[in-house]
Structure 1
């Protein structure tokens, strides 16, 4: 377990999956990251790579071969290497291996970087394609979950507000699969009141189109909460497990999305995939302010 600390925060990150497991605000005396109770959901804030969401049949096709991969990919279940570490900074790295080639036949390096600054934690994703010829196809995303209620009240006392305040496209899910051809409007002029019954059809997904977007999670009293700024993501997922009355909400920046309802299985044609040319590096960033 890696610990980062400054005058405001103590943050703990597990080397397994490079997963954030704790963000403790010293002054507020509050734990913001979901405790990971397996009765509801046993994770805290997994990193999703090289897919986000689920594949049709948990499989895809590439160069005449069929490969099998579970929901959200394999990075969350692997040990990362610690390549750089200071009191308020750590860089984790995962590279291709014999194990990954069996299910994902690409050379890659996936780095997850955490930086503390005041009450903010910055998370940077770097995906590098070391291949000298082939392009790299991938998705990546965050899945941080936050304790609710945080500082009193009940789950439904909390809301999520979005800036810029505008009408976003909301992508619907059919089972675990996306349906991008039939979006519905999501009016961010009105804060989203959090209600457990709104997640019976899985996550609420907003299309961000890589525009810098800020999400405020708090009660109306607004004494304590979490503010997430997503710099360049394609989508944002809002999720709590249906029918469990789980005491947390996940706010998830995604650079990619689950297979569409009509996906062909061809990985090079996968909706929402990023394509990285040989030798290039991708950057995705977001931050969380724990106030």
Structure 2
């Protein structure tokens, strides 16, 4: 376990998946990250790579060959190497190997970089192409934030406030986790999405066409808040296990497949690419206000 510390935050990351396990705000004494109850949902904040969401038939089609690929990719179960570490900065690295090539035939280096500065945690994803061809991928974040923040409050006391007041439309998923082609309006109050225990009964809310690049999780009863800024990520997923005391705020560069036929990786929705010898980076921030 690697721990970052400053006067505001204590942040812990485990080598499996380079996954956040704690975002502790010192002055308030609030643990903001879901503590992975295995009877409810056994993760804290997985990093998603090289796919986001589910692939049809659990397969990824690359150069005409189908490779086995689990939902959200293999990195959340992979052991990363801690290649840099200080009180406020850490770099976790996963290199292509015989294990990854079974699922994803590219030569790559995938890094997750964490840095704290005051009350702000910055997460940078870096994909280095070590192959002699273009590497295609998706990536995303999946942090689960505990709701409510304080004892004596209810889940329904909380809301997610969007940077801009805009209509929200979710893209519906089938029971197997693929896009059905259907959309549905999401009721809001101004720029606020009120949390309820039934909000995610039909799976995640997938927002593809929003202009907001920051959302804030907050109570109606006090000003302690947590915001997520995601300028590098055009899609946003919101999800919780129905009835659980958390909400996931998930910036995505990619998404699940649509129901139908498997398509080559380069045709997947919101697919990213990096040329041979080049580096791709995307950054998000979590700010405890």
TM-score, length basis structure 1: 0.93
- Preserved CA contact (<8 Å) 2:157 2:221: no
1:236 counterpart = 2:232: no
1:66 counterpart = 2:69: no
Deviations 1:164-217 (A, max 9, x none): 2223443221220124x54444576330011121212110111157x6611110
Which structure 1 segments of 5+ residues have no match? Answer: none
Report the Cα distance in structure 1 between the residues aligned to 2:103 and 2:262, rounded to whole angstroms: 18
Q: Which residue of 2 aligns with 1:54?
A: 54
Instruction: Report 1:112-131 matches (<5 A).
Output: 112-131=112-131
TM-score, length basis structure 2: 0.94
- Preserved CA contact (<8 Å) 2:139 2:254: yes
Report the Cα distance in structure 2 between the residues aligned to 1:187 and 1:41, rounded to whole angstroms: 26
Deviations 1:216-257 (A, max 9, x none): 101112332211111110211110113xx1111111111100
Q: Which residue of 2 aligns with 1:198?
A: 199
- Runs of 4+ with deviation above 3 angstroms: 181-190
- Preserved CA contact (<8 Å) 2:232 2:282: yes
- Preserved CA contact (<8 Å) 1:208 1:233: no
Q: Secondary structure at the match of 2:198?
A: helix
Q: Which residue of 1 aligns with 2:88?
A: 88
Q: Secondary structure at the match of 1:198?
A: coil
- Preserved CA contact (<8 Å) 1:147 1:247: yes
Q: Which residue of 2 aligns with 1:136?
A: 135
Cα deviation for residue 272 of structure 1 reads 2.0
Deviations 1:46-83 (A, max 9, x none): 10000111111111222232211111111111111111
Q: Which residue of 2 aligns with 1:158?
A: 158
Deviations 1:64-111 (A, max 9, x none): 322111111111111111111111000111110011001111111111
CA RMSD of aligned residues (A): 1.7
Greater mean deviation of Cα atoms: 66-75 or 259-268:
259-268
Greater mean deviation of Cα atoms: 64-73 or 200-209:
200-209
- Preserved CA contact (<8 Å) 1:212 1:229: no
Q: Which residue of 1 aligns with 2:14?
A: 14
Q: Which residue of 2 aligns with 1:103?
A: 103
Q: Which residue of 2 aligns with 1:224?
A: 224
Aligned length: 286
